[in-house]
Structure formats: C-alpha cells, structure tokens
C-alpha cells in the first residue's frame, strides 16, 4: 500500500509520516508549506508542495504514486483565528476535505483516516468524554472538524470508503528535537516562550471547580498520536474496520494547568510562579478523554507520560530557540 499524508510536513504530520515509514509503510506527503517544514521529513518520503483545494493536483498525486489510502491532517487549526476568519476556515478545512474526498472517490481509494479534534465536543460537563458525548463545538474551528466528520462518513457510505475519524486531545512533546512544534499556539510552547523572554507563564482562570482551581486537560504525546494514526491505517488495510469508526485519542488522565507549569519549571529549571489572568471565553473547567474504544477497536493506547512530553518538548524548544539556553535557567 501507499498512503498519502496531507499536511505531512507539519508538526503532527511529520510524526505520522515517520511512524508509518518506520513501520514499513510507503508514504507520500502533500503540504502547502504554509506552516510545514520540509526538513522534518526524511529524504525517502516524497514531498509534493500543494493544497488539498487543488483538485487537479490531487488527482495527479493519487495516480502517479499509486495511492491506496489517505491520512488527512491538512487544516487550519487555531481556535482564535477561526473566530476572526470563519469563512477562511470553512473554505480550507471543509472545502479542502470535499475536494480531497472527490479525488479519492474518483481514484477508487477505499481507506481514509481523518484527523479530527476534541474541539467537536465543546465544553461538556462530564468527568470523561466518550464518543457518545454530544458534540456542541464552541468555535468555527470545532465546527469545521465536526462538519468534516459528517462529510467523511457520508462520502464513505456513498463511495464504499472505510473511514476512521480520530478525535485527539491536547498534543505535546516531540519524538526528536528537530520534529518539535515550532509554533507558539499551544500551552506548552506558550509557557516556554514566556520563560525565554524572562516572563512568567500565564494561567487563564484559577477559580474553576477543579482541585486547584485551574483548568484540567488530557495531554497526549505526539508520538503516541502518530502511533494511533498508524494503528488506524493498519486496521483499515487489514479490513478490520469497515464502514466508519470514530474514536477519542487521549490518555484518559487529567492534568491541571498549575500541575503542568510546575512540571515545566522542573524541566526547564525556571520555577518562577505563574501569573493569573481572567478566564478566556469558551474554556472548559475539565476536558478528559475516555480512550477505551481506541483500545478495543484499534489496539492502541498511550504509552508516554507527562514528564516525557515536557522534557522532549523542551529539548526541541532549545534546538529551535538557542537563546533560551543562553539565558540560563531562571535568569
């Protein structure tokens, strides 16, 4: 088999591409390089620069590389930006997916993995979020992911494509420093960025109904997430998933923001206290996954813990931000 990975030069995409290649799968990557970095991919993986909105390019790539399955990660993914640019998010996330599925159906491809998000759930008031928890997304980004799931399932039924949708929670860490997240949009690199500039990390709200008052989240190592994509692809290739399947990808363990910042201080050596600011609109007190179904249907479970996530992310941060090491811990 040959798998097309869209967004394959991105932070998550490159991890998926490497995990699949190391497991013996043939891979070709497609990326518009708006945020992707070509050097994340080994030379053995062909990289095609282009967008999932380009139907003619997709047809050529699928044919020229004899693609038999697709892992679709390419998407815009910043919640705040989606609120400011909802039309762009729907055009790129839903429109790009529609164009890709049309090409996939036309090529007779029968296996499709869609990277969805826990953002589809919104802010449910439950201890553990299961796949049956009602989906009430709170942002245009979350809406595009939920609409994407609907579209994937509908196209699968119409064209005989077996599909898996992976709803993953908060991603952190790196399998190798050069694969680290270079953006400053998620909580771990945001904290690193503040420390590097000699500032305290920010906690948005400490009056939630949680043990220490700060929000509780489920964090998943990006290498575990890559393994989940590999497991989904393998199950599809083996014919062990027919029709459609939707599963959560998380550890099933909650970690508070304050606990996370304590760990970041231990790893970085900069233990300055966080500053507390007002809650952000739409933030949930708690969002923790039930990962039981992923174990049952994909044979997958997370293997890496929080310290490994933070330590690997810090090593990647130091590689890409040598000024952090030059400053010295706690300086």
> So which residues are the catalytic ones?
141
Alpha helix positions (H), 65-166: 79-84, 86-89, 96-107, 140-159
Q: Which residues contact 25 (CB under 8 A, 6 or more apart)?
A: 1, 3, 230, 233
For residue 81 the two structure tokens come to: 């930006």
Structure tokens at 217: 């989240």
**C-beta of residue 191 within 8 angstroms of C-beta of residue 273:** no
First vs last C-alpha separation in the chain? 52
CB 320 within 8 A of CB 182: yes
* Residues 239, 247: Cα–Cα separation, whole Å: 17
Residue 80's alpha-carbon distances to 138, 222, 281, in angstroms, are: 11, 22, 10
Distance CA 243, CA 236 (A): 10
Count of C-beta atoms within a 10 Å radius of residue 209:
8
Fill in the DSSP letter of residue 94. Answer: I
Residue recorded with tokens 């620069």: 49
CA distance 261 to 50: 38
């Amino acid at each position: 088999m040959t798998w097309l990975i869209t967004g394959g030069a991105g932070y998550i995409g490159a991890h998926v591409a490497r995990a699949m290649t190391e497991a013996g799968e043939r891979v070709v990557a497609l990326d518009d390089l708006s945020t992707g970095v070509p050097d994340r991919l080994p030379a053995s993986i062909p990289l095609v620069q282009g967008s999932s909105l380009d139907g003619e390019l997709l047809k050529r790539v699928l044919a020229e590389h004899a693609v038999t399955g697709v892992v679709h990660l390419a998407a815009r993914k910043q919640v705040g930006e989606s609120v400011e640019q909802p039309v762009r998010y729907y055009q790129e996330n839903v429109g790009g997916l529609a164009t890709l599925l049309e090409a996939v159906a036309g090529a007779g491809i029968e296996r499709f993995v869609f990277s969805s998000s826990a953002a589809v759930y919104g802010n449910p008031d439950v201890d553990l979020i299961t796949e049956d928890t009602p989906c009430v997304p709170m942002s245009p980004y979350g809406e595009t992911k939920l609409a994407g799931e609907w579209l994937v399932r509908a196209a699968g039924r119409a064209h005989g494509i077996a599909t898996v949708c992976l709803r993953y929670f908060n991603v952190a860490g790196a399998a190798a420093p050069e694969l680290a997240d270079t953006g400053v949009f998620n909580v771990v690199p945001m904290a690193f960025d503040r420390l590097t500039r000699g500032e305290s990390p920010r906690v948005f709200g400490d009056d939630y109904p949680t043990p220490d008052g700060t929000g509780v989240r489920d964090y998943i190592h990006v290498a575990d997430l890559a393994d989940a994509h590999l497991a989904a692809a393998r199950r599809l290739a083996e014919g062990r998933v027919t029709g459609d399947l939707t599963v959560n990808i998380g550890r099933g363990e909650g970690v508070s923001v304050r606990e996370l910042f304590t760990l970041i201080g231990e790893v970085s050596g900069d233990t300055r206290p966080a500053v507390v600011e007002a809650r952000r609109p739409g933030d949930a007190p708690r969002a923790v996954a039930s990962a039981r179904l992923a174990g049952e249907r994909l044979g997958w479970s997370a293997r890496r813990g929080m310290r490994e996530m933070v330590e690997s992310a810090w090593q990647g941060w130091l590689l890409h931000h040598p000024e952090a090491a030059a400053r010295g811990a706690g300086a």
